[in-house]
Chains A and B, each alone.
Chain A
Amino acid sequence: MKIKHNKNFTAGAVITAFMLAVILIGMVWTPYDPNAMSGKDRMLSPCLAHPLGTDNFGRDILSRVVEGAGATFIIAAATVAIGLVAGLVIGGLTGYYGGWLDEVIMRFNDAVAAFPSILLALVLIALFGSGKYNIILALGLLFIPSFARVVRSEVARQKSLDYVAGARLMGAGDMRILFLHILPNIIPVLLPSVAIGFNNAVLAEASMSYLSVGVQPPDASLGRMLNEAQGYLLTAPWYALSAGVAIILLVLGFGLLSEGMGGEYGAA
């Protein structure tokens, strides 16, 4: 069993490292300007000058995929950050103190969790309007319940352990116990959920941008590229394929990582 999980972890680490490297390089250098149009180079199939071909405006697809992956990655990371920080505070406090507020918040969490997330995101977009920052805000809000739930159950479990009693005997206050003693101990449990949350964020962002309610042109995003590429499926199938494969690699890498971690920590 152990070997299998490590295999997952290794494969995930390799794919994620590759994508991260591509994204980081893309932030300082891309083969071409992702937005530079060229009338004579329209719809080129993959060749030496343009390894992934060009799109309907003659823009280099490789450069666009790299830039789009970066945008998708940043949006997903920001989304997870919002959900994680708010989830830590809400889940931490409710798990630590319990009581009626805990009940109310957890019932509310259950109701939100039972809802299709895309639907909720669309409602929030209908309220806030579309655009890059509204997507981050909407998705970030949506991710709070799932993180809060994980944090809550873990904090509730840890607070009755001996080391917490020890810290209390030494005179540590509630906040110090919660954030300095308990929090570091729940990180192993939290990491797989962060990876899964990241995946959901990537998929959600890609879906929303595909539906044209997310990232707006001229900003690049993998979902938007798929939306544009669909119109040129017959003439330039490599366009859709490149953007789609980039999404799959991002999601697959983090999925394998979370599985690898989940297995290892679960076994420990």
Chain B
Amino acid sequence: MRYILKKTGVLLITLLLISLLAFLAFQIVPGDPTTKLLGSEYSPERAAALREEMGLNRNVLVRYVDWLTGFVTGDLGVSYSYGMGVRQVMEGKGVVTAALSLMAWLLVIAISIPLGITLARWQGGRLDRACVAMNQVFMAIPPFFLGILFTYIFGLVLHLFVPGGFISPQSSFWGFLGYLAFPALAIAIPKAAMVTKLLRSSIINQMGENYVRTAYSRGNSRWGVIRGHVLRNAILPVVTFVAMTLADIVAGSIIVEQVFALPGLGRLLLASIGNRDYPVVQCIVVIIAFVVVFMNYLADVVTQYIDPRVRLA
């Protein structure tokens, strides 16, 4: 319990730090936002009036507190280039990125956990040797290249989906999930290769322990030993790692969204970077960072919980 409290404290401080850094980073950027907002109607007087109206003349810390209060209460500020609230600009985009990341993450788990256990169960067998070699190659494939390959193989040759033909969740929920399946797989496969490798070696490392010998001597089969005794020890580092991969998966989805022309936060982020639309960039960065840091926090707590040495202490 004390551990969770301490972790929660660190989490809150980290979140504050991230938001402060993100805010400050976009304050030191050269250039005056009023130039962009006013466009052809620019005049020094108007710019000054707008600066006053936007509160740009106030102290940086005051503006930070203002922005943070707005952020927490759902007022995300105004976009420079779309002329509307950041919240409206982001409408519906978060769902796409969240669905894609979640789907990829679940795929990583669904592929790697059974595969890792199977490989460790038949360690040294034909399947094991083939997969260990394949793993190295899969780990080296950048997700966006896998996405391009999928576009070619499944989209253009096999016609399983229409590249660029995104289906919104409003028009067809299953069509939406179906279109996301290929990008999600492209993100998931390199990660799944890593997790498989980690789980396999984690199980194999445990197999030499004394408790395993004891379990064998009581008449358990190799499968029985793995299932009943080894797995719960071997899974600990894997849980932490799987939770940590979510950060990479979210990052991967920023790029893969571009490959499959998905209207998610990643595309918006890139477009906004191109447009120098800093309020939008700032919001997306802080939101993604918050999600990632929060997931890492959850991973810590869950690992602590499933490790009885800590839970019972």
Contacts of A199 in B (CB 8 A): 140
| A129 to B: closest C-beta gap in Å | 9
Q: Is there contact, CB below 8 Å, between B273 and A213? A: yes
Partner of A252, one of B137, B152, B296: B137
Q: Is there contact, CB below 8 Å, between A234 and B139? A: no
A173 to B281, CA, bound (A): 48
A245 to B148, CA, bound (A): 12
Q: A226-B145, A234-B152 are in contact. List 18 more A-B contacts (CB 8 A).
A: A114-B14, A115-B292, A116-B292, A122-B254, A123-B285, A126-B26, A126-B29, A127-B28, A206-B144, A207-B142, A210-B258, A211-B258, A213-B270, A233-B152, A234-B156, A240-B148, A251-B142, A255-B140
Contacts of B270 in A (CB 8 A): 122, 211, 213
| A186 to B: closest C-beta gap in Å | 24
A244 to B148, CA, bound (A): 9
Q: Is there contact, CB below 8 Å, between B17 and A210? A: no
Interchain residue pairs with CB less than 8 A apart (7): A117-B251, A210-B144, A237-B152, A240-B148, A241-B149, A244-B141, A244-B148
B214 within 8 A of A: no
A248 to B146, CA, bound (A): 11
Residue count of chain B within 8 Å CB distance of chain A: 42
Contacts of A8 in B (CB 8 A): 136
Partner of B148, one of A125, A127, A233: A233
**Which of A83-141 touch B at CB < 8 Å?**
111, 114-119, 122-123, 125-127
A47 to B61, CA, bound (A): 64
**Which of B221-252 touch A at CB < 8 Å?**
247-248, 250-252
Q: Is there contact, CB below 8 Å, between B156 and A123? A: no
| A259 to B: closest C-beta gap in Å | 8
| A50 to B: closest C-beta gap in Å | 20
Specify the main secondary structure of chain B where it touches its partner: helix
Q: Is there contact, CB below 8 Å, between A252 and B140? A: yes
Q: Is there contact, CB below 8 Å, between A247 and B145? A: yes
Q: Is there contact, CB below 8 Å, between B148 and A226? A: yes
| B255 to A: closest C-beta gap in Å | 5
A148 within 8 A of B: no
Partner of B248, one of A116, A122, A252, A256: A116
Q: Is there contact, CB below 8 Å, between A119 and B136? A: no
A131 to B146, CA, bound (A): 25
Contacts of B136 in A (CB 8 A): 8, 252, 255-256, 259
Known A-B contacts A206-B142, A244-B145; A123 and B281 likewise in contact (beta carbons under 8 Å): yes
| B161 to A: closest C-beta gap in Å | 14
Q: Is there contact, CB below 8 Å, between B296 and A230? A: no
Chain A 223-254 per-residue mask, 1 if CB under 8 angstroms from chain B, else 0: 00010011001100100110010011001100
| B203 to A: closest C-beta gap in Å | 15
Q: Is there contact, CB below 8 Å, between A125 and B273? A: yes
A62 within 8 A of B: no
B80 within 8 A of A: no
A203 within 8 A of B: yes
B188 within 8 A of A: no
Contacts of B18 in A (CB 8 A): 111, 115
B259 within 8 A of A: yes
**Which of B129-182 touch A at CB < 8 Å?**
136-137, 139-142, 144-145, 148-149, 151-152, 156
| A168 to B: closest C-beta gap in Å | 36
| B15 to A: closest C-beta gap in Å | 10
A252 to B137, CA, bound (A): 6
Known A-B contacts A116-B288, A119-B251, A230-B259; A126 and B293 likewise in contact (beta carbons under 8 Å): no
Going nearest first, the 6 A-B pairs with the smallest beta carbon separation are: A116-B251, A252-B140, A251-B140, A244-B145, A118-B251, A126-B273
| B41 to A: closest C-beta gap in Å | 26
A116 to B148, CA, bound (A): 22
**Which of B6-21 touch A at CB < 8 Å?**
14, 17-18
Known A-B contacts A119-B251, A125-B273, A233-B151; A114 and B144 likewise in contact (beta carbons under 8 Å): no
The residue among A211, A241, A244 with the most chain B CB atoms within 10 A of its own CB is A211
The residue among A123, A252, A255 with the most chain B CB atoms within 10 A of its own CB is A123
Chain A 67-82 per-residue mask, 1 if CB under 8 angstroms from chain B, else 0: 0000000000000000
Q: Is there contact, CB below 8 Å, between A203 and B148? A: no
Contacts of B28 in A (CB 8 A): 127
The residue among B17, B144, B285 with the most chain A CB atoms within 10 A of its own CB is B144
**Which of B248-296 touch A at CB < 8 Å?**
248, 250-252, 254-255, 258-259, 269-270, 273, 276, 278, 281, 285, 288-289, 292-293, 296
Known A-B contacts A116-B247, A116-B250; A126 and B281 likewise in contact (beta carbons under 8 Å): yes
